A and B are shown apart, each in its own frame.
Chain A
């Protein structure tokens, strides 16, 4: 279980998060929605240790991880698929997957890779291409697959649908649904509310660095979609 308590993130004087509290239970999908600049990515970066929170705590199964280095947090079971996919462009697709499995026991790597290729079939044919030359959708699949290679208990994904054609976004969503089936929790940041609502049980809306609404997708779904349609 991941618990954020009054999390605050600052970049110099800019206050990207101003006291955010939320909970991601085990085996859950929580969607985080909000406009550009709301602080969604900053929240994920704080969780994965990429930025150090200014104040507040991040508890993972009771341990405070708010000041840990990212590589240690990953070992505790939280993977972060960052915005912009963060491909290691000069490495091949297979090498990227292998890097994803950097902390995975050797005996399980091949098996995991097979499962990822099953989940994201388009990657199969491209194993020996460099990641930099993949299409946007393929890169997004690779980014998620790479995040999963470490067998996380929780995966935080930043805007997987960004820049993808609706059909491709749907494929990615289907893959995410399959991930959830395996018991991995998902913290999903999205701008595409309709997409997120199809997957998530719980929804948190943030704006200006604060939680503006939280509830189940049934409770909030209608209002949110209405707001987006406007």
Chain B
């Protein structure tokens, strides 16, 4: 039981990273981005290719993050930027991200010849750390530490720095931010880049955990990310971390007490259920009606 809780938290740590990335783009750009699923995949593939070319793991991870960040910024600067300038509805924006998702996904599928690749985990922490009667795999411990660190850094950045204040201003109203001297496009690009990096990080942890990688890994993780932000309240940084941990626990307990096959279905059920009961998330703050 205690061990299962530890496992759930460990699983949830990666989920938190996923949620943080989505919450950031949602918060700043108000886009629910389906292409995020492929940022996860492209980032992990970036790392995989780097490792295969004998790049030390730490740098390979950074390369993967950069790949995903650049892809995310590229998509934003081309498709999204264009649509924003035309004042397209959020409806159309979501659909466009679905189109981008499909393009990126089919390219990844083609490049990987629809195969499931082996993800080399030699350079990642292995073994596990014993805490009392429970043990936690080092990899998961690392991902937990990183997601908590990311949360703290994001929180500090958004609340305490000049750039973070500018980001919150852009999130509230880009035209007003511009009038105050903020280059809103640069802020958008920054938020998107960081979000891409977080997607990659989550994808890499996921791949290292299973030591496999496939072009379709992102699909399940995207749903997880959606579930996390729905649980934690969309746009909430703290909510993303709590939501991620909560979802990890729920999945582990479901596997334990109900059945392993339902741990995926439970994710979707949670999304529907929470949206019906508490549309602002379990920990979310009520969002004022938008006109």
Q: How many Å lie between the Cα of A86 and that of B177 in the bound state?
A: 10
Task: Please choose the segment from B149-157, B164-172, B270-278 that sits at the chain A interface, where 4 or more of its residues have CB less than 8 A away.
Answer: B164-172
Q: A71-B184, A99-B166, A102-B166 are in contact. Are A88 and B178 (CB under 8 A)?
A: no
Q: How many Å lie between the Cα of A95 and that of B169 in the bound state?
A: 10
Residues of B within 8 A of A86 (CB): 173, 175-176, 179
Residue of A nearest to B176 (CB): A86
Q: A71-B184, A98-B162, A102-B162 are in contact. Are A91 and B169 (CB under 8 A)?
A: yes
For chain B, which range describes its interface: under 10, 10 to 19, 20 to 34, or 35 or more residues?
A: 10 to 19
Q: How many Å lie between the Cα of A48 and that of B181 in the bound state?
A: 11
Q: How many Å lie between the Cα of A90 and that of B162 in the bound state?
A: 16
Report whether B183 and A88 are in contact in the complex, using a CB–CB cutoff of 8 Å.
Answer: no
Q: Say whether B223 faces chain A, with CB atoms less than 8 Å apart.
A: no
Residues of A within 8 A of B175 (CB): 50, 70, 86
8 Å CB interface, A87-124 against B: 88-91, 95, 98-100, 102-103
Q: How many Å lie between the Cα of A89 and that of B165 in the bound state?
A: 13
Report whether B179 and A82 are in contact in the complex, using a CB–CB cutoff of 8 Å.
Answer: yes
Q: Say whether A150 faces chain B, with CB atoms less than 8 Å apart.
A: yes
Residues of A within 8 A of B184 (CB): 71
Q: How many Å lie between the Cα of A139 and that of B175 in the bound state?
A: 18
Q: Say whether A40 faces chain B, with CB atoms less than 8 Å apart.
A: no
Report whether A71 and B178 are in contact in the complex, using a CB–CB cutoff of 8 Å.
Answer: yes
Contact residue among B162, B165, B173, B181 (Cβ-Cβ distance under 8 Å from A71): B181
8 Å CB interface, A61-99 against B: 69-71, 74-75, 79-80, 82, 86, 88-91, 95, 98-99
8 Å CB interface, B178-198 against A: 178-184
Contact residue among B178, B180, B181 (Cβ-Cβ distance under 8 Å from A50): B178
Report whether B172 and A103 are in contact in the complex, using a CB–CB cutoff of 8 Å.
Answer: no
Q: How many Å lie between the Cα of A52 and that of B173 in the bound state?
A: 18
Q: How many Å lie between the Cα of A91 and that of B172 in the bound state?
A: 10
Residues of B within 8 A of A90 (CB): 168, 172
CB distance from B165 to the nearest CB of A (A): 6
Q: Say whether A57 faces chain B, with CB atoms less than 8 Å apart.
A: no
Report whether B180 and A150 are in contact in the complex, using a CB–CB cutoff of 8 Å.
Answer: yes
8 Å CB interface, B31-85 against A: none
Contact residue among A49, A89, A99 (Cβ-Cβ distance under 8 Å from B180): A99
Q: How many Å lie between the Cα of A85 and that of B178 in the bound state?
A: 14
Report whether B168 and A100 are in contact in the complex, using a CB–CB cutoff of 8 Å.
Answer: no
Interface residues of B, Cβ cutoff 8 Å to A: 162, 165-166, 168-169, 172-173, 175-184
12 further interface pairs, Cβ-Cβ under 8 Å (given A99-B166, A99-B177): A70-B178, A71-B178, A71-B183, A80-B179, A88-B176, A95-B165, A98-B162, A99-B165, A99-B180, A102-B162, A102-B166, A102-B180
Interchain residue pairs with CB less than 8 A apart (24): A49-B178, A69-B178, A69-B183, A70-B179, A71-B180, A71-B181, A71-B183, A71-B184, A74-B179, A74-B180, A74-B181, A86-B173, A88-B172, A91-B168, A91-B172, A99-B165, A99-B182, A102-B162, A102-B166, A102-B180, A102-B182, A103-B181, A146-B180, A150-B181
